[in-house]
Amino acid sequence: MITGKLKEFTPKTYTHQDLAAIEETYELESITEQCRFFYQLSDDEASWLDWIGDRYSIATYLRDNLQPEDNPNDPKVIEIDVMEIARCLGEDSVDRAPCLSEETQLQRLIWFIGPDEDWCDNV
């Protein structure tokens, strides 16, 4: 029998600088295998999210998972659930976030996760 209090899981936070430091795209697996983590948006990524609105499932998911800010000048942080990202991409029938620059680390991350192929087959 396990006794004592279990430590609450706190997902790790990554920034666009953290992802840019990863040279080989396949190395993103060390992040995505966690299934859930936080990602701090760059200014360009945050601007895209404001602009795109709820036009796509992937954008709606990201907007719905923005973490509360103590100060409006604080960087925007989103909670990423790998399975939900894959589902949203499949729902939108895309393999990346529409209209998001290919130069952003968020786009690189989303592309690496990719669509849920089963969901694509059911749309």
Q: What is the pLDDT of residues 105-123, one digit of tens each?
A: 999 999 999 987 765 455 4
DSSP H stretches of helix in the chain: 16-20, 29-32, 43-52, 57-64, 82-92, 105-113, 117-122
Mean pLDDT, rounded, of the chain: 88
pTM tops 0.85: no
User: Does position 6 have pLDDT exceeding 70, yes or no?
Assistant: no
Q: What pLDDT was estimated at residue 25? A: 79
With a cut of 80, say whether residue 38 has pLDDT above it. yes
Per-residue pLDDT at 107:
95
Indicate whether 31 pLDDT > 70: yes
Cα angle for residues 116, 11, 73 (degrees, 5° grid): 100
In tens, the pLDDT along 51-89 reads 999 999 999 999 999 998 888 888 899 999 999 999 999
96-112 average pLDDT score? 94
Higher pLDDT, 74 or 103: 103
